């Protein structure tokens, strides 16, 4: 009976410990990013390059992506305030009728940003790819990263992992805070930490 009890306790403890580790990992990434996130573009120190993380729009009248709109407004504000000279718009472009970099470039052009300032990056299929490509492909030494707060914290953690000097501008508020997105962010941060260990192995 004692042996069976120990087995049952172990079985019950495994998911509890797993959940605690997921929560701890979430908080750790938030802590690493703390102090590097701005909410006012006018207070940003100058960085030559700004990285806008992927978001997609749609043909007018179909649906409205407020996350997209907030990121575009933030990127335009950074440029208009003279805080940056180059804007990388990085995201997915592997779906028919869905092209995040092209959507973002079109929105920034409408906002009055010159075309030579905007660099569409079609290789940003994940947040890690977007940040790493800013360093390796675009040869950035330092960047301003724009996204909503949760993803922004994760992006700044990635920048710290790969030794890219980065600060963030939060394109808040989100148009919703659904439990699905909160749950998704917890899982995304677990994947992000695993990516870090993979990155370290690749660069041994």
Which stretch, 52-56, 101-105, 156-160, has highest mean pLDDT? 156-160
Query: What's the whole-number mean pLDDT along residues 19-37?
Result: 95
Q: Does the pLDDT of residue 181 top 90, yes or no?
A: no
46: helix, strand or coil:
coil
- The encoded tokens of residue 52 equal 């806008």
Q: Are strands 49-53 and 142-147 parallel, antiparallel or unpaired?
A: parallel
Q: Which one is predicted more confidently, 64 or 174?
A: 64
Task: State the first-to-last Cα distance of the chain, in angstroms, to the nearest integer.
Answer: 49
Q: Taking all residues of the chain, what is their mean pLDDT, rounded to a whole number?
A: 90
Query: What's the whole-number mean pLDDT along residues 68-91?
Result: 96
pLDDT for residue 55: 81
Q: What percent of the chain has pLDDT over 90?
A: 72
Q: Are strands 86-90 and 37-38 parallel, antiparallel or unpaired?
A: unpaired
DSSP string, 97-131: TB-HHHHHHHHHHHTT--GGGEEEETT-SSHHHHH
- Give residue-wise pLDDT tens across range 125-170: 999 999 999 999 999 999 999 999 999 999 999 999 999 999 999 9
168: helix, strand or coil:
strand
pLDDT for residue 152: 95
- Give residue-wise pLDDT tens across range 188-203: 999 999 999 999 998 8
pTM for the structure as a whole: 0.88
Q: Which one is predicted more confidently, 62 or 113?
A: 113
């Amino acid at each position: 009976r004692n042996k069976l009890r120990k087995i049952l306790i172990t079985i019950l403890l495994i998911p509890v410990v797993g959940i605690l580790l997921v929560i701890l990992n979430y908080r750790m990434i938030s802590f690493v990013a703390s102090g590097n996130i701005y909410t006012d573009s006018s207070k940003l120190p100058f960085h030559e390059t700004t990285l806008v993380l992927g978001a997609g729009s749609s043909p007018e009248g179909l649906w409205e992506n407020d996350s997209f709109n907030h990121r575009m407004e933030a990127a335009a504000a950074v440029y208009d305030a003279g805080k940056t000279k180059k804007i990388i718009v990085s995201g997915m472009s592997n779906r028919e009728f869905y092209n995040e970099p092209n959507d973002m470039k079109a929105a920034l052009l409408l906002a009055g940003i010159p075309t030579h300032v905007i660099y569409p990056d079609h290789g940003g299929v994940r947040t890690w790819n977007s940040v790493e490509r800013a360093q390796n492909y675009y040869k950035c030494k330092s960047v301003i990263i724009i996204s909503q707060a949760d993803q922004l914290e994760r992006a700044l953690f990635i920048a710290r992992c790969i030794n890219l000097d980065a600060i963030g501008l939060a394109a808040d508020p989100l148009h919703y805070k659904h439990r699905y997105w909160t749950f998704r962010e917890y899982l995304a941060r677990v994947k992000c930490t695993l990516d870090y260990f993979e990155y370290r192995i690749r660069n041994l």
